[in-house]
Structure 1
Amino acid sequence: MTDTTSRLTRAERLDRLPFTREHGRLVVGSGMGWALDAMDVGLISFVMTALVAQWGLSNGEVSLIGSIGFVGMALGATLGGLLADRYGRRQVFALTLLVFGLATGAAALSWSVGALLVFRFLIGLGLGAELPVASTLVSEFAPARVRGRVVVLLEAFWAVGWTLAALIGYFVVPRGDDGWRWALAIGAVPALYAVVVRRGLPESVRFLELRGRTEEAEATVRRFERAADVEPVQSPPPAPPARAAGLGALWAAGTGSRTAALWVVWFSINFAYYGAFIWLPTLLFNDGFSLVKSFQYTLIITLAQLPGYAVAAYLIEKWGRRPTLATFLVGSAVGAGMFAAAEADSAVLVTGMVLSFFNLGAWGALYAVTPEIYPTALRATGAGAAAGFGRIASILAPLCVPLLVDAGGTGLVFGVFAAFFVLGAVAALGLPELRGQALDEGAPVGVTPTSRAR
């Protein structure tokens, strides 16, 4: 055996592996949590529509229900990233599932709008923290040559979860006055799944090394090498243990410009996506569709997310992260513009599917690029902070929809969403292109994986 292969770092040993059953278990295990997250977020759009009919809610009350969860998500995403860089990706991932699962079950018992708002905020805390932590964990195990594709595959579980929400909305919510309560009760499943995550998923090797837990890191790498039938090799001692970095490091020299571009993309896509899809069943209902038909159309539009992810997963390793993200954001703008002009039922359905296809492909590309642009000690913090800033837009968007509807109807609403997609596409061009590079190879000049943590 040559000296070159006998001194690979543990990160390099992971990067040399093919995609194995252990990678598959990690993606599916994390993806199930991701799908349950999406199911919970999606359910509220159907619950809102049912409560408009059952409780006679005003547009203002509906907006508060739609937005309060995102207040929790903004806080949860930021705190979750910081905690994951301090205590570990797997630990925080399991905790977030437990929090939002229990809170969703409690929300099924809501006796008033106020009670539902409190539970939705608690749900948001868990939901917001889960997504950036899961994507960081998966990106730190995926081989560099397919990392983008693997993270897009993880993001595709969002469409699975949202489709489950649409199915529950279509089959459960309209079945009686307590239909929405049963829908939320189903959303308590993540609390049980948290146990599976805590016991079954590995902790990030890069995180373990940063914390000086070398034996655990070595055992995890060997587990993946055995799955690939690859002979283990000796690794050099890792860098000295490091403290977790703080939020201020995101704006230090070398990282500030990429953070700014990333935050603009996150804000733009959150505003347009959540403004559109949280309100979609209600907007269709208000435009004259029956409750059941509005849910049916939302379900069909949601299914268009799956091919969007598939195409993005293919292109992200062919074109690269930046062109794929920008292209899908432009496609989302076109879809939103077409939806704004649609009048016939068939046109509403087709243009909604176009919007869904491109928008969720853009989400997949965004989750792929986000963990790549920061070093290990800052990765979860950077991903969480970007997601947290984006959640500010998801708070504002549901509140803005009634104002836009009053000012110019559904056409104006989706015209504004199209403008935000264009803004995001422009900002995406300011992100670095890191296709095929090892994770810390893309760190800013002068920044080592641990230097920011000192």
Structure 2
Amino acid sequence: MTETETGTRRTDARRSIAQRLDALPFTRKHGRVLTGSGIGWALDAMDVGLFSFIIAALTQQWGLSMGESGLIASIGFVGMAIGASLGGLIADRIGRRQVFAITLLIYGLATGASALAGGIAVLMVLRFFVGLGLGAELPVASTYVSEFAPARIRGRLIVILEAFWAVGWTASALIGYFVVPASEHGWRWAFAIGAIPALYAFAVRWGLPESPRWLAGRGRVAEAERIVETFEAQAGKARQAQDPGGDLVQDPAPSPVARSAGGRVAALWSREFRGRTLSIWLVWFCVNFAYYGAFIWIPSILVDAGFSLVRSFAFTLIITLAQLPGYAVAAWLIEVWGRRLTLSVFLVGSAVSATVFGTVHAEWAIIASGMALSFFNLGAWGALYAVTPEIYPTSLRATGAGWAAGVGRIASIIAPLLVPVLLLAGGSGLAFAVFAVFFVVAAAATWGLVDRRGETLDDR
């Protein structure tokens, strides 16, 4: 067999695997992939959320200034920026599942070790490593699930995956409300609980399959075939490798866009992808700035407004509960309206909510506008995670998603440092007005993306 014939057979095998995955109904195995990834996602959210409660407590116990608190928060986001960029590159190289498990282990161990921190310096070092793991995990997990999901429900499944963030954040709010204020060492116990991801990493490594699309793209077609066959067997489908069916026949897929790490990064700015790369980077930057600027500081802002630590945490818990209906509505709309319209509408809703939240003072108004901000902002996050992996082919998917997230983390580094300055200059009204502007810019940038609702993924 000639080299050309071998290449053609591999291309046909990749095409067949993609077609078979898209033709499947939703099965229990899809549910296992979604739930297994979602638990990791929830644990990630729990860690990020816990820190917003812990930093409010440490500000009182350690006598931290707002600048010092912002610095501790920002160092974690430095790690997240690096982790997101490297994690995507590595996932395109060694696989999605491997990187997913490694990142859970890294940030779980670092979070548990944070319980023993005795000062700012040690806590900052550990928060950097926590961020390293967190930053790499999220874009890799969304890429992983998107490559299993049938095309007709892919966006909805990624929004459901992102909805696990609300589960984790709610768990963090409960821990923050009941554990952190309970004693002088409550924050240490909260960090200890945050070490759970280190244990869960082993379940991911041995309990979930690797992405068949990635395996096929790396030439490991036999492994990809075996995984797809297990999904087909559960769905009651016959093996379709030799004859995918008339409705699924497509032209042979072209070769991977890039194989080397440098080539993948460069390809993001090729003529074909530069417009969507610029747009997705801008959306990620603006959404990260507004989200982390607001939600990391909400408990502290409420304390500064005169509410007790416990009451501030109770308000935050109520506000957090609105995230789940936000995800539910976004999960429905994303397959009805499409990715771009859904994302832009939720971002505009976030802008309006942020503006109102920054200007109200009555308890009911704070809770109502905060819940609206949670509803729209987290619905926007769900749509953003759905669209990001879809705009790149398989050989660039984790790299593209990781670098977009990495650019976004730059904004999350800046936001915690800038918020104290904004609060001093004009109070919460100015801070949340700035967040609203960033949401509006993100909504506009959404329209530079491609919308692949219902279309098969690009498996180059």
Taking structure 2 as the reference length, what is the TM-score of the superposition?
0.93
Match of 1:154? 161
Match of 2:315? 297
Match of 1:415? 433
- How far apart in 1 are the matches of 2:255 and 2:169? 43
Pairwise CA distance, 1:384: 0.1
State whether structure 2 residue 60 is matched by structure 1 residue 53: yes
Match of 1:3? none
Pairwise CA distance, 1:243: 2.5
> Out of 318, 338, 347, which is 1:320 matched to?
338
State whether structure 2 residue 267 is matched by structure 1 residue 249: yes
> Is this contact kept in 2: 1:152–1:309, CA < 8 A?
yes
> Out of 207, 210, 221, which is 1:214 matched to?
221
Write out aligned runs for 1:259-270 (5 A).
Answer: 259-270=277-288
> Is this contact kept in 1: 2:14–2:216, CA < 8 A?
no
Taking structure 1 as the reference length, what is the TM-score of the superposition?
0.94
State whether structure 2 residue 82 is matched by structure 1 residue 89: no
- How far apart in 1 are the matches of 2:352 and 2:423? 20
Match of 2:299? 281
Pairwise CA distance, 1:340: 1.3
| Aligned AA (1:337) | T
- How far apart in 2 are the matches of 1:65 and 1:163? 22
Could you say what secondary structure the match of 2:335 adopts? Answer: helix
State whether structure 2 residue 46 is matched by structure 1 residue 39: yes
> Out of 191, 206, 221, which is 1:184 matched to?
191
| Aligned AA (1:191) | A
Pairwise CA distance, 1:238: 8.5
- How far apart in 2 are the matches of 1:7 and 1:233? 12
Specify whether residues 309 and 7 from structure 1 end up closer, same or farther in structure 2 by C-alpha distance, changes over 3 A only. Answer: closer
> Out of 430, 433, 437, which is 2:448 matched to?
430
Moved over 3 A (4+): 235-242
Could you say what secondary structure the match of 2:24 adopts? Answer: coil
- How far apart in 2 are the matches of 1:150 and 1:248? 30
- Aligned residue pairs total 438
Could you say what secondary structure the match of 1:376 adopts? Answer: coil
Deviations 1:228-280 (A, max 9, x none): 11111224899778724421110011100000000000001000000000001
State whether structure 2 residue 200 is matched by structure 1 residue 198: no
Match of 1:131? 138
- How far apart in 2 are the matches of 1:14 and 1:29? 19
State whether structure 2 residue 379 is matched by structure 1 residue 361: yes
- How far apart in 2 are the matches of 1:376 and 1:410? 43
| Aligned AA (1:340) | G
Pairwise CA distance, 1:142: 0.2
> Is this contact kept in 2: 1:8–1:233, CA < 8 A?
no
Could you say what secondary structure the match of 2:239 adopts? Answer: coil
Match of 1:118? 125
- How far apart in 2 are the matches of 1:240 and 1:27? 29
Match of 1:174? 181
- How far apart in 2 are the matches of 1:39 and 1:178? 19
State whether structure 2 residue 86 is matched by structure 1 residue 79: yes
Pairwise CA distance, 1:187: 0.2
RMSD (Å) for aligned C-alpha atoms? 1.6
Could you say what secondary structure the match of 1:377 adopts? Answer: coil
Q: Structure 2, unaligned stretches of length 5 or more?
A: 1-12, 244-251
Deviations 1:111-170 (A, max 9, x none): 101110000000000000000000000000000000000000000000000001000000
Pairwise CA distance, 1:227: 1.5
Worse-superposed segment, 430-439 or 235-244: 235-244
- How far apart in 2 are the matches of 1:189 and 1:299? 21
Match of 1:445? none
> Is this contact kept in 1: 2:159–2:382, CA < 8 A?
yes
- How far apart in 2 are the matches of 1:231 and 1:239? 27
- How far apart in 1 are the matches of 2:324 and 2:14? 41
| Aligned AA (2:377) | N
> Out of 382, 392, 400, which is 1:374 matched to?
392
| Aligned AA (1:386) | A
Match of 1:446? none
| Aligned AA (2:447) | L
- How far apart in 2 are the matches of 1:297 and 1:235? 58
Match of 2:109? 102
- How far apart in 2 are the matches of 1:416 and 1:67? 18
| Aligned AA (1:425) | A
> Is this contact kept in 2: 1:210–1:239, CA < 8 A?
no
> Is this contact kept in 2: 1:7–1:233, CA < 8 A?
no
Could you say what secondary structure the match of 1:399 adopts? Answer: helix
- How far apart in 1 are the matches of 2:356 and 2:286? 19
Match of 2:238? 231
- How far apart in 2 are the matches of 1:251 and 1:243? 15
Specify whether residues 167 and 325 from structure 1 end up closer, same or farther in structure 2 by C-alpha distance, changes over 3 A only. Answer: same
- How far apart in 2 are the matches of 1:107 and 1:219? 42
Match of 1:27? 34
> Is this contact kept in 2: 1:73–1:126, CA < 8 A?
yes
Match of 1:385? 403
State whether structure 2 residue 405 is matched by structure 1 residue 398: no
- How far apart in 2 are the matches of 1:356 and 1:15? 33
- How far apart in 2 are the matches of 1:158 and 1:164? 10
Match of 2:6? none
Worse-superposed segment, 237-246 or 305-314: 237-246
Using the aligned pairs only, state the percent identity. 66
